A and B are shown apart, each in its own frame.
Chain A
Amino acid sequence: MPSWFHAFADKYLMWQEGPMIWGSDVLILLVSIGIIFTLTYFHKWKWLWREWITTVDHKRIGIMYLICALLMMFRGGADAELLRTQLAVPNNHFLTADHYDQIFTTHGTIMILFMAMPFIFALFNIVVPLQIGARDVAFPYLNAISFWLFFFGAMLFNLSFVFGGSPDASWVSYPPLSELGFDPGPGENYYLLAIQISGIGSIATGINFLATIFKMRAPGMKLMRMPLFSWSVVAASIVIIFAFPALAIALALLMLDRVVGTHFFTILHGGNPMMFVNLFWLWGHPEVYIVVLPAFGVYSEVVATFARKRVFGYSSMVASLMLISVISYFVWAHHFFTMGAGADVNTFFAIASMMVGIPTGVKVFNWLFTMFQGRIRMTLPMLWTIAFVPCFVIGGATGVMLAAAPADYQYHNSYFLIAHFHQVLIGGVVFGMIAGMYYWWPKMFGFKLDERLGRIAFWLFNIGFYVCFMPQYALGFMGMQRRMYTYPATMGWNTLNLVSTIGAYVMGIAFVVIVVQVVYSIKHGERDLTGDPWDGRTLEWSLPSPAPHYNFAVIPTVTDRDMWWVLKEEGRTDELRPKAKDIQPIHMPKNSGRPFLMGLSFFVAGFGFVFVWWPLIVLGLAGVAACMIARALEYDDEYHIPVREVQSHEAALGRLS
């Protein structure tokens, strides 16, 4: 073996780190070869490029987000299992301190930014245009850019595991720990660049969906007739627009510190680390509402559908969504009550944080009273929604306890906090995303996911969840800090940690069962021939499953909230079937490979910044500029679907009247 290769392998491939890295390298190599071989063997490259990589169709983009979210949930979950394995017994040496630090960093970062975010964007994309009676989002091309920026951001982040080393300064990455002096490797750069790139995509998504909902609703769909999921997207998009710029700045300044040698957050030369903490949480706290608000939207849709009843207190539901998005900006300092703020500041943020509980509590009561005097069907989406209530209510309660600033001095950075935020983020966000996935799955793919396997996964996940996280509240009271890679045997923490680890394994098994469920259902799942498998209430269920690429042959005129349900009640569903004479040529955006290339260029530039390799940086940024200039000069980006084609397509679906 030539010596340069040896040096390269040691420095960038980290071969001295041992079998875990070797195994991952081999695995990644095999998977890549497998994918390339399969695509080549089945002649699918062209299909992949034409149908998916260049697509600007919101439904396909949504599906791609969903696939990525599930893959990232696997990666983040595998991280979690490694962490819990290390903590199962005291004085464990399963992982070294360095590996443990990297793994909890990637676990947190991936779960929030590369799992929860694409999961909500998947549902945004799949549902919103169908729900509001639009043919696509306001800016389909930009939507594709958002996806590819997310995708390449996630790739860049995951690449760190096998090339150069993972970030290890935790997902909040506070300086000065994350500064060059204390953290010299490329890992932290990966973190900064990967989040920055996908964050640009997130801002664009927020803009896109706000414009979509404000400008593209079907005639007659007043704002107060809009389904609550779309309302939750409004609230989340507003928060995205106002929160993500702060993150962009925090990351950019830290990157300047590391790459250029500035002194924003360094200890010496006048830097102020506290400033990063403020900027980070100015985004970070709203971020948890960004991911939980769409989940609230999902619950509202699911509860109404499966209780066969109108949502209770619609106006309150809307008001509380908007209220939460406003209050979310006035709570960020509760992440650092213990950083020397005065009593007055702490009191303000403590009470503001508690106030978030008010609109949230109202929503819970409204969901309960939507079920009250309804007829509750225990389908998979409904099971997850019902399980969400106790989980989130307990998590919310511990949240209010944490908000009491002086009590927080005792909870902060302890396992009590860990248990709390996993309970609200898993119980609130993940349950909601899974419920939404089950609910809209038939609309995406034309078949339902298997009920029996789904129930097994549901019970395993829920039991595993409580077994895993309830002991962590107790561990917090015992004084166990977060982010310790090992602990002494004398503290009395042993049993509960072991129990918690067992719970984590059970949750892992539940995830595997969900994967099995998906694979099994592709062949055996119940086909959805009506387009309305759940007896739904909103416009998307008036379309066939999956919806045609232009969504609505004729844009419907909306006369009611729960439009589709009202029409069904009154036997007027024919009104939403297109009539041959009403069909007009449909403008659709053309596919484009440029969003993909732009994402790729960002990836190249980002990778260049990670190792400060200027040729790559220049090459990548030039690619970005070229894509933007080409877009600016592009005029011919739309095409018409002729009336004939729409008519024959609808007739084939048996819908033409």
Chain B
Amino acid sequence: MAVMEHAVHNPTGIDEKPLEYRDPNQSVKILGFWLFLATDMLLFGCLFATYLVVRTHTDGGPTPQQLFDIPGFTLETFFLLTSSFTGGLSTLAMRNGNRKWLMTWLAVTILLGLAFIGFEVKEFVGDVAVGATMQRSAFLSAFFTLVGTHGSHVSIGLVWMFLTLLQVARRGITKVTARKVFVVNLYWHFLDVVWVFIFTIVYLSGRVM
């Protein structure tokens, strides 16, 4: 974006910055994205709070202990955490200017993300099959909404990452695609962090408490 040229007026150590930050027009977008993540974090914060308030409100229906399947959510966690790691590798490859590995790691990340979504859908379908629908009780409403919101974030992230992969394939590593790779990974790591909270607050404590 154009309005930024004056920012070049104080170019302190501009070359030491990572690739995605070097162009001020791109770095302002990264700042904007951080601010967006702050709002998204609060969004999840409200969903977590809601879940905590109604998690015991099962209305005689399925309880967390009955519903949560340890191998299932462990596997989901494994896929998502690993994908976050491979996403980080793609950022490193981007900074090293290694387009081939950048694309490889992005592709691996997408596959792992798909696996996560696949298992989550399987889990939800299984829940619904035993009558645990989101209309059954406040607990299930909150559970499906919280985990489902995360899941839809991941799904959007997958499409986004795929589009980024296409752009890298077409245009190589430029200041724009570098920023795009960085931002989509930022988003991906954020979803990973949210999942860590879902894993502990929803699944683990649901099994234990």
Which of the residues A214, A242, A248 comes within 8 Å of B31, measured between beta carbons?
A214
Indicate if A587 sits at the interface (CB-CB under 8 A). yes
Q: Which residues of B contact A268 (CB under 8 A)?
A: 59
Give the complex CA separation of A215 and B3 in angstroms: 10
Indicate if B42 sits at the interface (CB-CB under 8 A). yes
Q: Are A260 and B5 in contact (CB under 8 A)?
A: no
Q: Are A270 and B139 in contact (CB under 8 A)?
A: yes
Q: Are A138 and B138 in contact (CB under 8 A)?
A: no
Indicate if A566 sits at the interface (CB-CB under 8 A). no
With CB as the reference atom, state the residue of chain A lying closest to B8. Answer: A219
Indicate if A488 sits at the interface (CB-CB under 8 A). no
Q: Are A632 and B141 in contact (CB under 8 A)?
A: no
Q: Are B9 and A219 in contact (CB under 8 A)?
A: yes
Give the complex CA separation of A219 and B4 in angstroms: 11
Q: Are B135 and A208 in contact (CB under 8 A)?
A: no
Give the complex CA separation of A241 and B43 in angstroms: 10
Q: Are B141 and A256 in contact (CB under 8 A)?
A: yes
Indicate if A272 sits at the interface (CB-CB under 8 A). yes
Write out, one digit per residue, whether chain A residues 133-148 have a CB within 8 A of any chain B CB (1) or not (0).
1111111101000000
Q: Which residues of B contact A139 (CB under 8 A)?
A: 1, 29, 32
Q: Which residues of A contact B27 (CB under 8 A)?
A: 215
Give the complex CA separation of A487 and B136 in angstroms: 42
Q: Which residues of A contact B136 (CB under 8 A)?
A: 269
Give the complex CA separation of A629 and B43 in angstroms: 23
A250 nearest CB across to chain B (Å): 8
Indicate if B82 sits at the interface (CB-CB under 8 A). no
Indicate if A376 sits at the interface (CB-CB under 8 A). no
Q: Are A263 and B135 in contact (CB under 8 A)?
A: yes
Q: Which residues of B contact A389 (CB under 8 A)?
A: none
Known: A244-B39, A249-B46, A275-B54. A216 touches B3 (CB 8 A): yes
Give the complex CA separation of A11 and B161 in angstroms: 45
Indicate if B189 sits at the interface (CB-CB under 8 A). no
Q: Are A632 and B53 in contact (CB under 8 A)?
A: no
Q: Are A219 and B163 in contact (CB under 8 A)?
A: no
| Number of CB contacts from chain A to chain B under 8 A | 148
Indicate if B193 sits at the interface (CB-CB under 8 A). no
Indicate if A262 sits at the interface (CB-CB under 8 A). yes
Q: Are B42 and A245 in contact (CB under 8 A)?
A: yes
Which of the residues A207, A262, A266, A271 comes within 8 Å of B32, measured between beta carbons?
A207
Indicate if B129 sits at the interface (CB-CB under 8 A). no
Write out, one digit per residue, whether chain A residues 193-213 have a CB within 8 A of any chain B CB (1) or not (0).
000000000010011101100
**Which residue, B43, B47, B144, B171, has most C-beta atoms of chain A within 10 A?**
B43
B12 nearest CB across to chain A (Å): 13
A639 nearest CB across to chain B (Å): 8
**Which residue, A136, A264, A269, A638, has most C-beta atoms of chain B within 10 A?**
A269
Write out, one digit per residue, whether chain A residues 534-574 have a CB within 8 A of any chain B CB (1) or not (0).
00000000000000000000010000000000000000000
Specify the main secondary structure of chain B where it touches its partner. helix
Indicate if B17 sits at the interface (CB-CB under 8 A). no
Known: A264-B142, A272-B53. A246 touches B134 (CB 8 A): no
Q: Are A587 and B1 in contact (CB under 8 A)?
A: yes
Known: A140-B1, A275-B53. A219 touches B6 (CB 8 A): yes
Indicate if A279 sits at the interface (CB-CB under 8 A). yes
Give the complex CA separation of A242 and B10 in angstroms: 31
Indicate if B176 sits at the interface (CB-CB under 8 A). yes
Which of the residues A136, A245, A262, A270 comes within 8 Å of B134, measured between beta carbons?
A262
For window 566-591 of chain A, which residues contact chain B by CB distance below 8 Å? 584, 586-589
Interface range on chain A (Cβ under 8 Å from partner): 35 or more
Indicate if B36 sits at the interface (CB-CB under 8 A). yes
Known: A139-B32, A211-B28, A261-B135. A632 touches B160 (CB 8 A): yes
Give the complex CA separation of A246 and B46 in angstroms: 6
Give the complex CA separation of A206 and B39 in angstroms: 10
Q: Which residues of A contact B24 (CB under 8 A)?
A: 215
Indicate if A397 sits at the interface (CB-CB under 8 A). no
Indicate if B86 sits at the interface (CB-CB under 8 A). no
Give the complex CA separation of A555 and B136 in angstroms: 61
Indicate if A656 sits at the interface (CB-CB under 8 A). no
Q: Which residues of A contact B53 (CB under 8 A)?
A: 272, 275
Q: Are A248 and B43 in contact (CB under 8 A)?
A: yes
Give the complex CA separation of A218 and B9 in angstroms: 10
Q: Which residues of B contact A208 (CB under 8 A)?
A: 32
Q: Which residues of B contact A218 (CB under 8 A)?
A: 6
Give the complex CA separation of A638 and B4 in angstroms: 12
Give the complex CA separation of A91 and B39 in angstroms: 48
A43 nearest CB across to chain B (Å): 31
Give the complex CA separation of A271 and B1 in angstroms: 47
Q: Are B36 and A262 in contact (CB under 8 A)?
A: no
Q: Are A555 and B6 in contact (CB under 8 A)?
A: yes
Give the complex CA separation of A471 and B66 in angstroms: 60
A-B contact pairs, 25 of them (CB 8 A): A136-B2, A137-B3, A138-B28, A139-B29, A140-B3, A203-B39, A206-B39, A207-B32, A207-B35, A208-B32, A211-B32, A241-B39, A245-B39, A246-B42, A262-B141, A263-B138, A263-B141, A264-B138, A269-B137, A270-B58, A271-B138, A275-B54, A555-B5, A632-B160, A632-B167
- Name the 8 nearest CB pairs between A and B, nearest first: A587-B2, A270-B57, A270-B138, A262-B141, A135-B3, A245-B42, A249-B46, A555-B6
Given contacts A245-B45, A264-B138, A638-B2, 6 further A-B contacts (CB under 8 A): A138-B32, A142-B32, A207-B39, A215-B4, A216-B4, A271-B138
